[in-house]
């Protein structure tokens, strides 16, 4: 009897303590990474993260498989097989935001990996060696034009862990029928591998369910992004960035993610409406687009200092990597559903050619009414660094959007000169402010 009562009270304690602890931890995490909003969604985000972590680490490998993937990962396909697609890169981002990424990076460097390669890859290698990441049953790497390092880094991990490794090639010619058919072939190949891995057969209904949830999550995600169009914006760039984490970070296509974005959208909408009824735009707010990689995640004070001067990042080109929906197929056949899936991934704005990236920057600049664009370059990423000048020139000359290129790194703090980055950002904001006000005076 006693035992049972003790168990009961333990359960009751857990039931009441977990939400409280979750709220406290969410507050601490928020503070640590520099978020300031008071949305309930922060706590939800924290709980989702914990739940997902628990699911990854505590799963029974016989009943549920886990694969490592990189962005853009074809999450719908994995969820159709009840396989967890775990993206280790953003874990590095979260660690960096909490000022903790040094350990995994140092581990990779001490293993002999070069400091001059992608720091996200080094983080994955180091964190895996430190056993900070859930062990995968297999690794699927998506190869596309914007990332040349992940495939080899993942292959190195797969070899070390002695697990299977598969590449999914994502071609750039998104409008070509041949590209779609090629990618459908890649998907079919992945399906065969997943059937072997899970000892199950492909279930179209399961895929359709995953696609429905994925599309629904994207709908609310985009609605949330649209709220940042408001003038003046009242959603901090730091918050705007961190709140979209579940969609591309680790949650994939689950009902909880849909619910998260739905709540986030509602909360943000109320916040914006409330703000707008109390504040009138004086037209002086400087609005920036992050047209490069992520800002230095370990130092949110950089963006906060700008926000004190009414300079806000209102959009990120990278956000567009996750906002496409799977279109309706022509017929309800597996072939056509795979074609639809292919269309989604082939049309991702950051996947394709320069033309595609230029087009998305054009759209974001216009719709989010930006005054300037900042191109944060990640250390060791040849692809983004080598294309940044061309993108910046396009924005300056064709779109009349002044651009600033900043060499830094989102997760490796050792490649960061705060004074220099801050001076450039503030000087850029001063320049835009004067241009904007002069323009107004002339009117």
Cα–Cα distance for residue pair 179/356, rounded to 1 Å = 15
| Shortest spacing between CB 310 and another protein, in angstroms | 14
- Minimum Å gap between C-beta 397 and another protein is 12
Only one of the segments 120-128, 283-291, 315-323, 419-427 lies at the binding site for another protein (rule: CB under 8 A); that segment is: 419-427
Sign of the CA dihedral running 42, 44, 49, 53? positive
With 0-12 / 13-18 / 19 or more C-beta atoms within 10 angstroms meaning exposed / middle / buried, residue 63 is: exposed
Residue 291 token pair: 């047209």
The CB-of-389 to another protein minimum distance in angstroms stands at 8
Would you give the end-to-end CA distance of the chain in angstroms? 82
Site for another protein in 354-413 (CB under 8 A): 402, 407
**Residue 141 CB, nearest distance to another protein (Å)?**
31
Helix (H, G, I), strand (E, B) or coil at 437: helix
CA angle (327, 318, 356) in 5-degree steps: 65
DSSP state of 433: H
Which is nearest to 69 in space by CA: 59, 79, 54, 57? 79
User: Looking at beta carbons only, is 273 or 393 nearer to another protein?
Assistant: 393
- Min separation Cβ 326 and another protein, Å: 42
Name which position in 423, 440, 442, 443 contacts another protein (CB under 8 A).
423
Smallest distance, another protein to C-beta of residue 306, A: 12
Q: Which residue is it, tokens 């303590």?
A: 17
Q: Which of 17, 103, 204, 427 binds another protein (CB under 8 A)?
A: 427
User: Per CB under 8 A, which region of 76-84, 94-102, 217-225, 424-432 contacts another protein?
Assistant: 424-432
Torsion angles phi and psi, residue 158, rounded to 5:
-60, -40
Between CA 273 and CA 353 the distance in angstroms is: 38
Comparison of 272 and 429: residue with beta carbon closer to another protein: 429
Minimum distance between the CB of residue 170 and another protein, rounded to whole angstroms? 32
Residue whose pair of structure tokens reads 């596309």 in the numeric block: 144
- Tokens encoding 353: 């050619």
Exactly one of 192, 366, 430, 439 binds another protein (CB under 8 A); that residue is 430
State the nearest-atom distance from the C-beta of 309 to another protein, in Å: 10
Q: Please count the other Cβ atoms lying within 10 Å of the Cβ belonging to residue 152.
A: 13
Q: How many residues bind another protein (CB under 8 A)?
A: 15
**416 lies in the site for another protein, by CB under 8 A:** yes
Among 169, 226, 431, 436, binds another protein (CB under 8 A): 431
Q: How many residues would you count in the chain?
A: 443
Binding site for another protein (CB under 8 A): 402, 407, 415-417, 419-420, 423-424, 426-427, 430-431, 434, 438
């Amino acid at each position: 009897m006693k035992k049972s009562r003790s168990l009961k009270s333990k359960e009751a304690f857990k039931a009441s303590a977990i939400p409280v602890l979750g709220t406290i931890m969410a507050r601490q995490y928020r503070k640590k990474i520099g978020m300031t909003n008071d949305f309930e969604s922060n706590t939800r985000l924290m709980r989702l993260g914990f739940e997902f972590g628990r699911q990854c680490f505590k799963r029974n490998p016989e009943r549920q498989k886990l694969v490592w993937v990189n962005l853009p990962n074809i999450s719908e396909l994995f969820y159709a097989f009840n396989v967890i697609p775990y993206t280790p890169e953003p874990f590095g981002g979260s660690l960096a935001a909490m000022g903790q990424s040094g350990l995994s990076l140092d581990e990779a460097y001490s293993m002999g990996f070069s400091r001059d390669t992608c720091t996200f890859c080094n983080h994955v290698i180091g964190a895996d060696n430190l056993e900070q990441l859930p062990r995968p049953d297999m690794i699927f790497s998506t190869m596309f034009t914007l990332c040349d390092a992940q495939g080899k880094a993942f292959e190195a991990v797969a070899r070390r862990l002695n697990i299977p490794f598969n590449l999914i090639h994502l071609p750039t010619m998104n409008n070509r029928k041949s590209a779609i058919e090629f990618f459908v072939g890649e998907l079919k190949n992945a399906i065969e591998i997943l059937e072997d891995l899970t000892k199950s057969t492909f279930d179209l209904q399961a895929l359709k369910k995953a696609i429905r949830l994925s599309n629904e999550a994207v709908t609310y995600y985009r609605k949330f992004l649209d709220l940042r169009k408001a003038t003046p914006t009242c959603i901090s760039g730091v918050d705007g960035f961190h709140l979209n984490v579940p969609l591309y970070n680790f949650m994939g296509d689950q009902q909880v993610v849909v619910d998260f974005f739905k709540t986030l959208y509602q909360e943000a909408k109320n916040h914006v409406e409330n703000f707008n009824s109390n504040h009138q735009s004086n037209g002086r707010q400087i609005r920036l687009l992050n047209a490069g990689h992520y800002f230095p995640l370990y130092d949110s004070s950089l963006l906060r200092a700008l926000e004190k001067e009414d300079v806000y990042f209102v959009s990120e080109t990278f956000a567009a990597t996750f906002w496409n929906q799977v279109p309706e197929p022509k017929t309800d056949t597996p072939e056509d559903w795979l074609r639809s899936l292919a269309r989604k991934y082939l049309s991702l704005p950051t996947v394709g050619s320069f033309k595609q990236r230029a087009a998305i920057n054009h759209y974001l600049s216009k719709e989010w009414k930006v005054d300037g664009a900042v191109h944060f370059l990640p250390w060791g990423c040849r692809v983004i660094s080598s294309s940044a000048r061309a993108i910046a020139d396009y924005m300056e000359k064709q779109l009349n959007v002044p651009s600033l290129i900043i060499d830094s790194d989102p997760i490796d703090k050792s490649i960061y000169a705060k004074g220099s980055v801050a001076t450039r950002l503030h000087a850029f904001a001063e320049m835009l402010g004067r241009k904007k006000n002069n323009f107004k005076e002339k009117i």
